[in-house]
Amino acid sequence: MPRTKIAGIGFHVPERVVTNEELTKWMDTSDEWIVERTGIHERRYVKKYEETPATLAAQAAKIAIERAGISKDDIDFIIFATLSPEFYFPGGGVLLQRELGITNTACGALDIRNQCSGFIYGLSVADQFIRSGMYKNILLVGSEVQSIGLDFSTEGRNITAIFGDGAGAVVLQPTEKENQGILATKLHSDGTYAEKLALISPGSHGGYHNKYNPDGDIDYGFDHDLDLGGLFITQKMVDDGMLYPYMDGQFVFKMAVQKFPEVIHEALNEVGLQTSDINMFIPHQANLRISQFVQRLLRLQDDQVWNNIQKYGNTTAASIPIALCEAWEAGKVKEGDLVALAAFGSGFTWGSALIRW
């Protein structure tokens, strides 16, 4: 059975740089607070009306496709991971297909809604399709435009300070080479904490999940006695800032530092390798403090971990392919290297992948 290799990789971030200092124009925060707690100095934001998750994805994809030495028309399946889709539906996969000018309707497009671990989930799905022989050239993209949906008031500062826009893409192909390709992927989820990092409304929940909330009744911003209409989006939701993402930062932090090492060890154990075999570790760029904590636990040197959250913030589904691409472009990922990827995020969902480059 063939394995799956990354045949081409690319990334694209918007030109507009937004520093921590610039955020202080809108909210009560400081460069010092953000750098100390997250390691982030600046992030990128799209040009409104011109750039979207699909356009960023297309830019990254074009680079990955060229580096794979194929044409867009060779792509037989698209996997698009994002938490910031331009439409509620349809998903970003078909918008990317259109943006790339792929007119082959035999090319399927799948949307992945696994937030920060979306790229790892997508990689695992692609790996199964390639190994089974179903597809030969899968385009997997993580792309985010967070800046359009963030709360720029002081209320939203814990999330707005960390999120950024960007996209990363890979082309996946079969390889028959002895010691090359994806060695293992591990996926996990625990819906118990679904609301700890979430954008709940607008949605079709109708308040149902409140029964899992131990702290009593949540005000979702609608009238419970309504039969039809007035549940999906209301003026109260708009007025009270309920249409923005929510995060219990400390809770997420504690879970992340536990799950990252666990899921990396799980993948290593499966293929009989150890942390000392890892040449490059690419963590999802959630928070520099999380990555540094995990690095210490895995006993990795600074040059064995790629961090770029300082420049781009947390670009959720895009963060791993952007970081992997940067590391590869810098010559830090070479043929034969063991690359470990790991992510944790909203859901909660988390996962890891081991790739022999």
Ligand X SMILES: CC(C)(COP(=O)(O)OP(=O)(O)OC[C@H]1O[C@@H](n2cnc3c(N)ncnc32)[C@H](O)[C@@H]1OP(=O)(O)O)[C@@H](O)C(=O)NCCC(=O)NCCS
* C-alpha span between 60 and 353 (Å, rounded): 21
Considering only residues 91, 166, 261, 345, which one is a binding residue for ligand X as defined by CB under 6 A?
Answer: 345
Per-residue binder mask for ligand X (CB under 6 A), 290-329, x = binder: x-----------------------x---------------
For ligand X, the binding residue among 64, 78, 79, 256 (CB under 6 A) is 256
- In the complex, least distance from residue 205 CB atom to ligand X, rounded to whole angstroms: 21
Could you tell me the CA-to-CA distances from 167 to 63, 96, 291 in Å, in that order?
Answer: 11, 12, 20
Quote the least distance from Cβ 163 to ligand X, whole Å: 8
From the list 12, 107, 284, 287, the catalytic residue is 284
φ, ψ dihedrals at 223, nearest 5°: -90, 115
Distant-in-sequence, close-in-space partners of 109: CB < 8 Å, separation ≥ 6? 77, 78, 80, 91, 93, 94, 96, 97
The token pair that represents 198 in the structure block: 């979430």
User: Which span (73-81, 201-209, 216-224, 283-291) binds ligand X, by CB under 6 A?
Assistant: 283-291
Residue span binding ligand X (CB under 6 A) among the ranges 125-133, 142-150, 157-165, 328-336? 157-165
- Least CB distance from residue 182 to ligand X, whole Å? 22
Between 38 and 180, whose beta carbon lies closer to ligand X?
38
Using CB under 6 A, pick the residue from 58, 70, 107, 161 that binds ligand X: 161
Q: Which is nearer to ligand X, 231 or 294 (CB)?
A: 294
Query: What span, in angstroms and rounded, lies between the C-alpha atoms of 308 and 284?
Result: 10
Q: How far apart are CA 9 and CA 167, in angstroms?
A: 11
284 is catalytic: yes
The answer to whether residues 281 and 304 touch, using CB atoms and an 8 Å cutoff, is yes
The 177-206 contact track toward ligand X, x by CB under 6 A, reads --------------------x---------
What is the total count of residues that contact ligand X (CB under 6 A)? 23
Among 137, 158, 175, 308, binds ligand X (CB under 6 A): 158
| Between 43 and 157, CB nearer to ligand X | 157
Do residues 72 and 101 touch, judged by C-beta distance below 8 A? yes
Residue span 5-44 as binding mask against ligand X, x where in contact by CB under 6 A, dash where not: ------------------------x---xx--xx------
Q: Which is nearer to ligand X, 39 or 221 (CB)?
A: 39
Q: Phi and psi (nearest 5°) for 110?
A: -115, 135
Say how far residue 133 (Cα) sits from the centre of its chain.
Answer: 27
| Parallel, antiparallel or unpaired: strands 138-144 and 181-189 | unpaired
Helix boundaries (H) for 146-299 = 157-160, 235-239, 249-270, 288-297
For residue 114, which of 101, 125, 100, 102 has the smallest C-alpha distance?
Answer: 125
Site string for ligand X, 82-121 (x = CB under 6 A): ----------------------------------x-----
Query: With contact defined as beta carbons under 8 Å apart, do 38 and 292 qualify?
Result: no
CB closest to ligand X, residue no = 249
Residue closer to ligand X by CB (options 152, 253) is 253
User: Could you give the CA distance from residue 229 to residue 237 in angstroms, rounded to a whole number?
Assistant: 14
Residue that has been written with the tokens 């300082």 in this structure: 310
Nearer to ligand X, 154 or 269 (CB): 154
Residue span binding ligand X (CB under 6 A) among the ranges 43-51, 53-61, 142-150, 285-293: 285-293
249 contacts ligand X (rule: CB under 6 A): yes
Kind and range of the H or E run holding 100:
helix 92-100
- The residue from 12, 20, 114, 116 that is catalytic is 116
Residues 312, 166: contact at Cβ < 8 Å?
yes
Residues interacting with ligand X, by CB under 6 A? 29, 33-34, 37-38, 116, 157-158, 161-162, 197, 247, 249-250, 252-253, 256, 286-287, 290, 314, 344-345
Please identify every residue annotated as catalytic: 116, 284, 314
